[in-house]
A and B are shown apart, each in its own frame.
Chain A
Amino acid sequence: MSKNELVILDCWASPFCMRVKIALAEKGLDYEERAEDLFGGKSDLLLTSNPIYKKVPVFLHDSKPLCESTVIVSYIDETWPAPALLPSTPYERSQARFWADYIDKKLFDSTSAIWKASGDDAVEGAKKEFVEVLKVLEGALGEKEYFAGDAFGYVDILAIPITSWFLASEKFGNFKVEAECPKLSTWIKRCMEKETVAKVVPDPEKIYEFVINLRKMFGIA
């Protein structure tokens, strides 16, 4: 019989860790959060649990480790089925997985490219690409409240943490997501009103400060 000891190796600013924490909160599960010092020195547990990527999040279920946030969120949904995060039919699930894949490939990298860029041309180019990604997502959302319809679920959980990094991009790129994608902006506000999300996702101002430090560390002007 499983003891159900749940541990997450975490970094407060990581949108990928936030995904896992939101999923656990949606399921009403208790877990231990262990903060990793990603720049000062990763713990032995992190290095042995995730030898391939050496990244957070790592989720441990009764000491059995899992890595990669999308894999972890799917695992949580399958192990504790209620309330369901993925839709119920195979077709709707394929759509959810398609958008999860798109978000994983495009969203964080395109928003980060803005604050990583140096020079006006590079920033403008990065901004253009990011807005294109947002418009595709806005199209996928359509008139629905959440990506799968009426209920907050899998795709929302994977996307919403990354939006906490948007303010940093807006400040370095000198633009506003709300002006470019009002419907997506409304979806962001709607998700942030949920208790499970609000408790996990930090104030974007704090992420902005974190990004300022990252830029200093990477030697970006």
Chain B
Amino acid sequence: MRTSVMSQMQRSFSIDLPSLIPLQLPSRRETHLWYILPDEVKSTSLLKRYSQFLSPIEKDRVDQMRGDELKKNALLARTLVRTTIARYQTNKAVDPGSLMFKKNMYGKPEVDWQNCKNYNVQPLHFNISHTDSLIACGVTVHAPVGIDVEDKERKIKHDVLAFAKRFYTTDEVNFLATILDPEAQRKEFIKLWTLKEAYVKALGKGFSAAPFNTFTIQSKPGTEGGYSLCKTSEVTANPLEKTEECNGRWKFDLLELAGSHYAAVCTEDDQADEGAPMRVIVRKTIPFVEDQLISERIFL
């Protein structure tokens, strides 16, 4: 059936939704990670209702997606962002459809707070990522956040080491090369990908600001899911020397969601104190229906 999904949705708004349950803002050293599993959202009337929150441009983008599944996921992604941000506006109930978005000068999406009238806004940072079967949104208050999710079972069509040699740093290639089992190697490759993506997205300056082969992310010994960032500088006089600047400013957490996905969270620690822990609170949601607290983690 070729009829546009969006025009079908617009024809009937048969259900009434309860009010959105407000949320307490993340604290200074916290990231809230929300996710939706599209397979769990089956009600067509609920999806129709979600579509009402989208701006005309967002509706167009959903319509441009090929096939019902991609359209549904695009709709859910915008719904997740809008409803989540609306819930953190604790002073007054906010219509998720009233939020406006813009892009920073490098193209990173942000809330356009200036155009929001009538309520005290809490300046949040957010970032979304989605795969076919999971959509996630990270929210922070004091520092920008970047997140990236990938299906653990995602197959790479190219040879993993060839891919890494082309795009990652030498240290990362060497690390991957030590993993002999191809499956384990592929998994570590994916984890690195999500971590590197999360960093670039947290920076918010586009890929040119941080090409993948200019920074190494490696796991922190003695931690579970802890990683640190080291920047490789240009090769100087001695080609065998490579200066690395490892700073504790950027915090990473790598976790598994729904048993099926890797999720990397990256945020900036303005206190630059490597010892102070940061937290990630993970919740699964179906907007207007239910939230489920999944985990609270500390990452270093």
A, B: real partners: no
Residues of B bordering A, CB below 8 Å? none
Residues of A bordering B, CB below 8 Å? none
